[in-house]
Amino acid sequence: MRPVLRDRIGRLTDDDLPAYIYDLRALREHVHAIRAALPQGVELLYAAKANSDPRILQALAAHVDGFEVASGGELSHVRGLAPDTPLAFGGPGKTQAELAQALDAGAERLHIESEHELRLLTTLLGDRSADVLLRVNLPVDLGRVALAMGGHPSPFGMDPAQLDGCRELIASDPRIRLRGLHSHLASGLQAQAQLALIDQILTWGEGWAHDCGVDLAEVNVGGGMGVDYTHPHRVFDWSAFGAGLARFLARRPRLTLRIEPGRSVTVYCGWYVTEVLDIKSSRGETFAVLRGGTHHLRTPAAKQHDQPFEVISGDVWLRPWARPEARDEPVTLVGQLCTPKDVLARRVMVERLRVGDRVAFAMAGAYAWNIAHHAFLMHPHPTFHHLDDAEVSVGCGTYAHQMP
Ligand SMILES: *Cc1c(COP(=O)(O)O)cnc(C)c1O
């Protein structure tokens, strides 16, 4: 944790807790490093669903080529905050109203998920035009991945068998420009596995384009760049990834590659800070009950992992009885919900954890608050804070591409 962040957490009042803190400076440096690792010919979109916090989107806007949005809500939210940043509108199950909204908003790309969706689009165009990518669920072998959106029966994208029907429709409608293909197949791949998958997508896409005489100008290979919650310092190897993409593009000088990561962009900038309310031992296992829980930070429940954390001890103890504590032992950190699923980290060794200490969960910047069931049990919502010390210079100014 950066010292300024620790300091900021220390200055949160008890009334602020639980709190989310987003480190915007760290976010900017991170996305800048991602951008710098990508070769010419690769466009970087941020998938807004990972975290659509307004200040996060505004911080990212200067560093990305666009935002990927997947609902009418995201579309108007993102357009309102960053009116000049191009938008790609994707996602399954687009309503007619959402498609119309995307056209009205002038979304730069529409990711078409089925022939039916394409037909719906043609009824809404009027005298407007649209640039589309066809999202395809390719028959590739994904091996073991955290989340697979394709490569097997899936509601995402279209079967390759549907592509030709779409291509013929587009060929007969000059208002629709087919820019290429979209294929977001998996989440949680590290750089080499991700490159191997992209290699398969490109080879398949070029074969298809060649066979049907389509000019494949653009391929969006999706997001899903791996994030390692067990080893927070093992950041996705963007340099190796960028070098691999450069090799692909060297053989395809006219192709534009697009990527649209979400998690790997914002996950490290977010912290969920709370305090220990109680510590108890139950049949040989020690539990720390924290203010808040998975109704604020859903990630560990959704992904079934231990959320990494740091303890910030507070020395004030004014009660007349002994301060409950755990020492050099495994502790299970749970929230306030009346369900055994409300676990943030299970049997994790701590040196010392006391009632009243603060706990700062790292890697809480993606799929955390915005996927949580906020209404369950009607606890108060967390407060939100943004650390933006852009003017403060630290050390020699070089940024080691490693976080937190
Ligand atoms: C969710 C999603 C992404 C982003 O995935 P991450 O795992 O957050 O990088 C990108 N593209 C599409 C189509 C998605 O559904």
Active-site residue among 166, 212, 338, 396? 338
Is 27:37 a contact under the CB 8 Å cutoff? no
Close Cβ partners of 12 (under 8 Å, ≥ 6 residues apart): 19, 21, 273, 358, 385
User: What tokens does 208 get?
Assistant: 């298809």
CATH of the domain at 309: 2.40.37.10
Task: Return per-residue pLDDT of the chain as tens, 404 residues.
Answer: 899 999 999 999 999 999 999 999 999 999 999 999 999 999 999 999 999 999 999 999 999 999 999 999 999 999 999 999 999 999 999 999 999 999 999 999 999 999 999 999 999 999 999 999 999 999 887 776 667 777 788 899 999 999 999 999 999 999 999 999 999 988 899 999 999 999 999 999 999 999 999 999 999 999 999 999 999 999 999 999 999 999 999 999 999 999 999 999 999 999 999 999 999 999 999 999 999 999 999 999 999 999 999 999 988 999 999 999 999 999 999 999 999 999 999 999 999 999 999 999 999 999 999 999 999 999 999 999 999 976 444 433 333 333 33
Is there a single domain that holds both residue 120 and residue 250? yes
pLDDT given for residue 385 in this prediction: 97
Total number of domains constituting the chain: 2
Residues 279 and 380 placed together within one structural domain of the fold: yes
Tens-place pLDDT, residues 169-192: 999 999 999 999 999 988 899 999
Identify the pLDDT of residue 393. Answer: 41
Contacts of 29-35 with C-beta under 8 Å, sequence gap 24+, read 29/399, 30/265, 30/268, 30/269, 30/401, 30/403, 31/59, 31/60, 31/63, 31/64, 31/265, 32/63, 32/399, 33/238, 33/399, 33/401, 34/238, 34/261, 34/264, 34/265, 35/63, 35/64
What's the mean per-residue pLDDT of the chain?
A: 93
Phi, psi of 364 (to 5 degrees): -110, 25
Decide: helix, strand or coil at residue 86.
coil
Tokens of 47: 């998938």
At residue 144, the pLDDT reads: 66
Domain assignment present for 72: no
Strands 343-354 and 383-387: what pairing? Answer: unpaired
Tell me if 355 is assigned to some domain: yes
Q: Is 180 in the pocket of ligand 1 (CB under 6 A)?
A: no
Same domain? For 201 and 347 the reply is: no
- Radius of gyration of the CA atoms of the chain, in A: 23
Within 10 Å of residue 57's Cβ, how many Cβ atoms?
A: 22
In 3D space, the residue among 300, 283, 219 whose CA is nearest the CA of residue 254 turns out to be 219
In a domain? residue 379: yes
Same domain for 350 and 257: no
Domain that includes residue 273, residue range: 3-20+268-401
For residues 109 and 256, membership in a common domain is answered with: yes
The reply to whether 50 falls in a domain is: no
Tell me, using a 6 A CB cutoff, whether residue 49 lines ligand 1: yes
pLDDT in tens, 263-291: 999 999 999 999 999 999 999 999 999 99
Nearest residue (by CA) to ligand 1, atom 15, is: 91
Please tell me the residue having the least CA distance from ligand 1 atom 3: 223
Q: What CATH code is carried by the domain that includes residue 186?
A: 3.20.20.10
Asked if the structure places residue 34 within a domain, the reply is no
Burial 12-50 (b: 16+ CB within 10 A, else e): beeeebbbbbbbbbbbbbbbebbbebbeebbbbbbbbbb
